[in-house]
Structure 1
Amino acid sequence: MGAALHLAHAGQPAPGERHRTKGKGGSGGETFADFARQVYGDQRATPLARELLLAFGYATMVAHSEAERDVHDVWSTARKAMGATRTGRRWRLDEAIADDAPRYVSSKDREHRVCEAPRLRPHPDGPDDFRNVRGICGSLADWEHYALEKQLGTGWYKYHWFCKRHLDHLARVREQLREPNERAPQPVPNRGGLLPAYFESDWLGTYRHRLDSPTWEPPVYGISADDWPTPGVEPVAPRARLRLAALDGTLLVEADRGARR
């Protein structure tokens, strides 16, 4: 998981104050440029997440910057900015919100799944061969032959691979890891959670709606990526966020004097 950066976000305007845009005697365009630089500098963001954040930033800060903006227009602008899927059956904005749901995604390295069973005899390729350096079998392991180790600090997964010739060793390692894995914490999320870091809203309801899962629950570490602990990295300091509202499963942007349908 990339380090959580300390980002300064565009703030919510004070009561009665309006965002200003270029062409209207203000610097709202520059504000959006700052916002875009922050999004592109966020190492946690996938390309799809960046597109999602920029769509909402554009809709709220540029296209509909007036205090009396129509919340439906904001949603429509963000949705149209991202376009539809290839099939045209679902808006990409909906898919991007579902993809931003906080979760832990493990990484199974297909290209480096070599058998870790101890090597009994030196490999003929010489002392510098990785199998001799690491003292392992080194044969390519089948996709299903692994032992899962959960890290005690983060709950993240580490995979230990074994080939067909060392399935007995695989069974022993799995048994050795069974009790430590039971004590490991729930994995710290490493994917999603960026919308709550940039915008205020009822994200629980929004994620449930986009995932089509009314019982979905966020991780115990929180719904915002800013709140997730990373070993050796200080938590992201609280910062101002743009305020959004989610009504009837539809994300709406609140005007300065309340959301309007």
Structure 2
Amino acid sequence: MGAALHLAHVQQTPVRKRKRKGGGSGGDGYDALVARVYQDQRMTPEARELILLLAWLAVRDPNRYDSDGNFINWRKRASAILDKDSPTRQSRLADLVYADRPRYEDKRDGWEQRTCAAPMIRRAGLCGQHAVGHDYTVDQETGWRTAVWYCRRHEPWGRDLRTQRLANPGPEPIPNAGGLVTSYLMTEGEGQEKSWARLYKEAAVWHYDPHWEPPKTYGVVADNWPVPGKDPVPQRARLRLVLGGQDLEDV
């Protein structure tokens, strides 16, 4: 597999070799990051686990330096924590990264209401009969989908919905899941964006999901995605993790 996560160090100024054994201090940003993670209502268990682990490895792990004060390769340290008791050749890191892949997921609006939504001609309102199939409509601003169900009597109406959708598929949907790890650990820059996108792609391939691709329009950082009806997430200082060339399958 291609390049994957390589945690070298948190970018600091000045950068110099240091020999130290203990953890960091509140000035390294770790304590503030932990507080933000637990206060973030968007947070998932997988993203929380990965963010806190990578940040801890970068600034608090007492075994992160060799005898010359250089950062030790993070891979063995992370693997010892994540995959210590794994009876098979698995990568918990790949699992966590894949769970945080930026993507659009259908909300449940309309998907569980299995009644026909065809409008009635002789009376006001919708059909309401038990549905046998469904298609969906697409919001032309957000690209988000809403399920529309139809009964056997209104199957032609359902086919018309599909024809209309195919003729006007709408824009790329605004992502609404994932992208939390990058919101905390990625600084601005085209190189960083490409590296994280490549990492997410490697995790997707590991999970036999070769069709996943990073959002072309919106990028891989959830903080940068518009949320209809809500104010943008304020920009915040982030810990910077360096990405490089280790394979997820080797973690």
TM-score, normalization by structure 1: 0.69
Q: What is the deviation of 1:71?
A: 4.2
Structure 1 distance, partners of 2:122, 2:48, is: 51
Please state how far the C-alpha of 1:121 moved relative to its aligned partner: 8.1
Where structure 1 has 5 or more consecutive residues not aligned to the other structure, the ranges are: 1-10, 123-133, 252-261
Paired AA for residue 221 in structure 1: Y
Query: Residue in 2 aligned with 1:190?
Result: 176
| C-alpha distance 154-86 of structure 1, shift in aligned 2 (>3 A) | farther
Q: Which residue of 1 aligns with 2:46?
A: 48
Count of matched residue positions in the alignment of Structure 1 and Structure 2: 223
Cα shift at 1:46? 1.9
Counterparts in 2 of 1:218 and 1:76: CA distance versus 1, 3 Å: farther
Change (3 A) 1:204 1:171: closer
Change (3 A) 1:65 1:80: closer
TM-aligned CA distance change 1:86 to 1:135, over 3 Å: farther
Specify the code of the residue in structure 2 equivalent to 1:205. R
| Shift of residue 161, structure 1, vs aligned partner | 0.7
C-alpha displacement of 1:204: 2.4
**1:58 to 1:119, Cα distance in 2 relative to 1, 3 A:** same
- The match for 2:189 is none
Contact 1:227 1:236 in 2 (8 A): yes
1:244 aligns with 2:241: yes
Alpha-carbon shift at residue 44 of structure 1 (Å): 2.5
Which residue in 1 is equivalent to 2:150?
A: 162
State the partner residue of 2:58: 60
Q: How far apart, CA to CA, are the structure 1 residues paired with 2:23 and 2:156? A: 73
Which residue type is aligned with residue 182 of structure 2? Answer: P
Contact 1:189 1:219 in 2 (8 A): no
The match for 2:141 among 153, 165, 173 is: 153
The Cα shift of 1:117 comes to 2.1
The answer to whether 1:70 aligns with 2:68 is no
CA distance in 2, matches of 1:18, 1:59: 17
For 2:118 and 2:85, locate their aligned partners in 1 and report how far apart those are by CA, in whole Å: 46
* Counterpart position of 2:130: 140
Which residue pairs with 1:131 in the alignment?
Answer: none
2:203 aligned residue: 210
1:227–1:235 Cα contact (<8 Å) kept: yes
Find the counterpart in structure 1 of residue 92 from structure 2.
92
Distance 1:24 1:98, change over 3 A: closer
Please state how far the C-alpha of 1:65 moved relative to its aligned partner.
8.4
TM-score (norm 2): 0.71
Separation in structure 2 between the aligned mates of residue 204 and residue 24 of structure 1, nearest angstrom: 30
Cα separation, 1, equivalents of 2:196 and 2:24: 34
Mapped to 2, the partners of 1:244 and 1:26 lie a distance apart of 18
Tell me the residue number matched to 1:172. 160
Secondary structure of 1:112's counterpart equals coil
Larger relative contact order (C-alpha < 8 A, sep ≥ 6)? 2
Moved more, 197-206 or 47-56: 197-206
Contact 2:116 2:151 in 1 (8 A): yes
Give the conservation status (yes or no) of the 8 Å contact 1:51–1:82.
no
Q: 1:54 to 1:141 in 2, by over 3 A?
A: farther
Kept in 2: contact 1:156–1:187 (CA 8 A): yes
* 1:151/1:157 contact within 8 Å kept: yes
C-alpha separation in 1, matches of 2:23 and 2:212: 45
Relative distance call for 1:80 and 1:168 in structure 2 (3 A) is same
1:22–1:28 CA contact under 8 A, matched in 2: no
Q: Give 3-state SS (helix, strand or coil) of 1:111's partner.
A: coil
